[in-house]
Structure formats: C-alpha cells, structure tokens
Amino acid sequence: MNGILLLIPLSVALGATFAFLFLRAAREGQFDELDEEGRKILGDE
C-alpha cells in the first residue's frame, strides 16, 4: 500500500513534466513541416 502512495504522485508528476515539454516543443514549432526534412534528404542538390 505504501508503494502506491509513492507511485501515484510520481506518475502524475512525470506525466505533467512530459505534457509540459510536449506543449513547449509544439509552441516553438518543433513539429512544423515534418515532411520537409525527408524531402531534403531524398532530393537532388
């Protein structure tokens, strides 16, 4: 029972951290134009 009392807040904190990092990356444009990088590799220069 003591393990659950430790693991639940830990998992909530970890989930909140990942959500924060994901939202920050999305706001900064990390996921914009995902196909463009693939085209750069495959395209002739």
pTM of the predicted model as reported, rounded to 2 decimal places: 0.67
Q: What pLDDT, on a 0 to 100 scale, did the predictor assign at position 44? A: 66
The arithmetic mean of pLDDT across residues 8-33, rounded, is 94
Q: What pLDDT, on a 0 to 100 scale, did the predictor assign at position 19? A: 98
The arithmetic mean of pLDDT across residues 14-37, rounded, is 91
The maximal CA–CA distance of the chain, rounded, in angstroms, is 62
- Helix (H) or strand (E) holding 31, with range, is none
- Tell me which residue has tokens 């495959």: 42
Q: What pLDDT, on a 0 to 100 scale, did the predictor assign at position 28? A: 93
Query: HEC profile for the chain?
Result: CHHHHHHHHHHHHHHHHHHHHHHHHHHCCCCCCHHHHHHHHHCCC
Whole-number mean pLDDT of the chain? 89
